Copies of this chain bind each other. A is one copy, B any other.
Amino acid sequence: MLIMLKLDAPREHIEKVKTKIISFGCTPHEIPGSLKLAIGVTGASSSLQIDDFISMDSVDDVVRVTKPYKLVSREMKSEDTIIKIGNQEIGGSNLTIIAGPCSVESRNQIFDIAGELKEMGIVFLRAGAFKPRSSPYAFQGLKEEGLEYLAEVKDKLGMKIVTEVKDTQTLPLILKTADILQIGARNMQNFSLLEEVGKINKPILLKRGLAATIEDLLMSAEYILSKGNYNVILCERGIRTFETHTRNTLDLNSVPVIKKHSHLPIFVDPSHGIGIWDKVQPMALAGVACGADGLIIEVHNHPESALSDGFQSLTPKNFKSLVEKIKQLAPIVDKKLDL
> Which A residues are closer than 8 A to B by beta carbons?
42-44, 68-70, 132-137, 166-169, 186-187, 189-193, 195, 209-211, 213-216, 219-220, 222-223, 226-227, 239-246, 249-257, 260, 273-274, 276, 278-279, 282-283, 285-291, 325, 328-329, 332-333
CA distance A42 to B289 in the complex (A): 40
A133 adjacent to B256 (CB under 8 Å): no
- 27 A–B pairs (Cβ distance < 8 Å), ordered by A: A42-B136, A134-B219, A135-B219, A136-B195, A166-B191, A166-B192, A167-B190, A187-B190, A211-B239, A211-B242, A213-B245, A215-B245, A239-B241, A239-B243, A241-B241, A241-B242, A241-B249, A244-B244, A245-B253, A250-B251, A250-B252, A256-B274, A256-B282, A256-B283, A260-B278, A289-B290, A329-B329
CA distance A147 to B288 in the complex (A): 40
B166 adjacent to A333 (CB under 8 Å): no
CA distance A279 to B289 in the complex (A): 12
CA distance A189 to B42 in the complex (A): 30
**Residues on B with beta carbons closer than 8 Å to the beta carbon of A190:** 167, 186-187, 190
**Residues on B with beta carbons closer than 8 Å to the beta carbon of A189:** 132, 134, 186-187
Please give the count of copies of this chain that the complex contains: 4
**Residues on B with beta carbons closer than 8 Å to the beta carbon of A254:** 243
Which among A191, A244, A260 has the highest number of chain B CB atoms within 10 Å?
Answer: A191
Residue of B nearest to A331 (CB): B328
**Residues on B with beta carbons closer than 8 Å to the beta carbon of A215:** 245
B136 adjacent to A226 (CB under 8 Å): yes
**Residues on B with beta carbons closer than 8 Å to the beta carbon of A137:** 42-44, 70, 226
Return the contact of A240 from the options B68, B191, B211, B328 (Cβ within 8 A).
B211
